[in-house]
Structure 1
Amino acid sequence: MAALGTDERRRRIVQAAREAGSVDVTELAAQLNVAKETVRRDLRVLEDHGLVRRTHGGAYPVESAGYETTLAHRTTMHVPEKRRIAAAAVELLGDAETVFVDEGFTPQLIAEALPTDRPLTVVTASLATASALARHEKTVVLLLGGRVRPGTLATVDHWTTQMLSGFVIDLAFIGANGISREHGLTTPDPAVGGVKAEAVRVARRLVFAGSHTKFGAVSFCRFASVGDLEAIVTSTALPAAEAHRYALLGPQVVRA
């Protein structure tokens, strides 16, 4: 295999990460016919450019304005962790009677863990969440209308935000593609960001739930600050020291 130029090699690393969901330094070195240290250096540069996040022995892709994982892909990544997070998030429901459930796999797991033995109204833009809850007799499901995004099977645009603007919601379970102390909660698509921002505006209480991989990641569109949150629910894979730094900005941080 002929040696690749630096730019082409790094492009292939990003492509591999996006296709597989993660990459391994040893495997990349063998595939690209370069030293492991060369791959590590490439990953450091790509992380500086906001394209990947490094892990011990590899990296995973960062979602951006030009790249976003599908709902189908998300259902295969960190599933046990996301189930723990969902269960812990539902513990924060309290006496809420109206709940907004965001699009995404972790919010969908939260919706499926909601109690079914009491009256509850759930507002969502997610077709998957609406379908999962519609069979429960005591759960009223309000599906926000709008343009359906094929990758996430969720509605967006002015129809969605206009309908949402007419509600006062007790508790919103919000997801994000990234959360950082400096830039807050972010997502790649402006249309999605608009729906999330409206949910933040109309909710009395706001809970972010997401895996440890979301922390420190920054995407294109900011829709909330960390200080807007009542609580952050994640897993013990987020170091306690980092969780404390987020707690200093206001929210309770729960590590499940």
Structure 2
Amino acid sequence: MRQQDRFSLILDRLNHSGSVTVGELSGATGASAASVRRDLRSLEEQQLLKRTHGGAVSTEVIYELPQRYRAGRGQQQKRRIAEAAAALVDEDVRSVGLGGGTTTTELARLLAAGKPLKVVTNALNIASDLSVRPSIDLVVTGGGVRPDSYDLVGPIADRALAGISVDVVFLAAAGVDSVLGVSSCDEIGANTDHSLMATGRRVVVLADPEVVGRRAFARVAPVTAVSVVVTGAAADQEELARLRAVGVAVVIA
């Protein structure tokens, strides 16, 4: 197993159980105990866990995983969610907003192969992918770069978005539920996500199944600001029913 894949497995297990042991990880990854210890040391240096005698525990503050570790997780599910979202871009849609994230990156690649569109994004990797596509009229917000992703956030991005209007905004979320609404793992990113949502006449949230019913650190917007949630079949069905009850359309990919 590649080191990056081991990192993803370690962080996933910490996210679910709160602690891991070197022996457990060695068995799960097929790596030697020495390799696992080096992995734990590297992740601790990035403040993604705290090493203990014989293993590691979650840090007290839960961070969103850096995109380089998230990109390979649940890739088939993300692709299905992106395909279902792309199907919402009908002939009347001429402009879209794309927030950052692994699923929106998949969506951007699908849109690039489709009809001509004006695309507004605050994600550097999406901008890089789309900048060479002749069918895409691209607008990039500017802003400060988040250290754990390719997102441009903060006051510069917010001001750029304040003067823009698009047909549909597609946004990934760290959490979405019927009470708090859409939430993010950090307050600065949440503000910029809110600014991006405000540009759209419709807002579509792309939600991995595990984030449905979850509340992350910072609120982005109330659930009433969301038009559609696109997620997978493994999402909490009771929470999806509550979202439908408050007027949010749900698409299962």
Give the TM-score band, short-chain normalised. 0.7 to 0.9
State the Cα deviation string for residues 44-74 of structure 1 (Å, max 9, x = none). Answer: xxxxxxxxxxxxxxxxx8x996512111111
- Post-superposition Cα deviations, 1:74-131, rounded to whole Å, max 9, x if no partner, equal 1021111110000001111122111000111011111111153422011111011111
| Alignment check: 8 A CA contact 1:146 1:159 kept | yes
Aligned to 1:7: none
2:11 to 6, 20, 25: 20
What SS does structure 2 have at the residue aligned with 1:114?
A: helix
Q: Is structure 2 residue 65 aligned with structure 1 residue 69? A: yes
Bigger drift between 234-243 and 191-200 goes to 234-243
> Is the 1:122–1:140 Cα contact (8 Å) retained in structure 2?
yes
* Other structure's SS at 1:173 match: strand
Q: 1:190 to 1:30 in 2, by over 3 A?
A: closer
CA contact (8 A) 1:185 1:226 kept: yes
Question: Matches of 2:199 and 2:11 in 1, distance apart?
Answer: 37
Which of 186, 189, 211 is equivalent to 1:192?
189
The count of residues paired between Structure 1 and Structure 2 equals 211
Shift of 1:242: 3.5
Structure 1 residues 1-256: aligned runs within 5 Å: 19-23=10-14, 28=20, 66-94=62-90, 95-114=92-111, 116-256=113-253
CA RMSD of aligned residues (A): 2.6
In the TM superposition, what is the alpha-carbon distance from 1:137 to its structure 2 partner?
0.5
Q: Kindly tell me: are residues 145 and 65 of structure 1, through their superposed partners in 2, closer, same or farther at Cα, counting changes over 3 Å?
A: farther
Question: Does structure 2 retain, via aligned residues, the 8 Å contact 1:64–1:220?
Answer: no
Deviation at 1:18, TM superposition (A): 9.0
Helix, strand or coil for the counterpart of 2:198? helix
Distance 1:151 1:193 in 2: 14
Deviation at 1:144, TM superposition (A): 1.0
CA distance in 2, matches of 1:65, 1:201: 29
Q: Is the 8 A contact 2:213 2:239 kept in 1?
A: no
Displacement, 1:19?
Answer: 4.4
Q: 1:133 to 1:197 in 2, by over 3 A?
A: same
TM-score between both structures, scaled by the size of structure 2: 0.76
Taking a change above 3 Å as real, the CA distance of residues 29 and 64 of structure 1, as seen in their structure-2 partners, is closer
In 1, Cα distance between equivalents of 2:112 and 2:156: 29
Distance 1:118 1:209, change over 3 A: same
Contact 1:171 1:205 survives alignment (8 Å):
yes
Note the alpha carbon deviations across 1:168-203, whole angstroms, 9 max, x for none.
Answer: 111000111111222111112111111111112221
TM-aligned CA deviation for residue 213 of structure 1: 0.9
Q: Which runs of 5+ in 2 are unaligned?
A: 1-6, 25-57
What are the Cα deviations for residues 190-230 of structure 1, in whole angstroms up to 9, with x where unaligned? 11111111112221000001110111211121111222211
Q: Which runs of 5+ in 1 are unaligned?
A: 1-15, 33-60
Q: What is the percentage of aligned positions where both structures have the same residue?
A: 27
Q: Secondary structure at the match of 1:196?
A: helix
Matched residue type, 1:209: L
Aligned partners of 1:118 and 1:21: how far apart in 2?
37
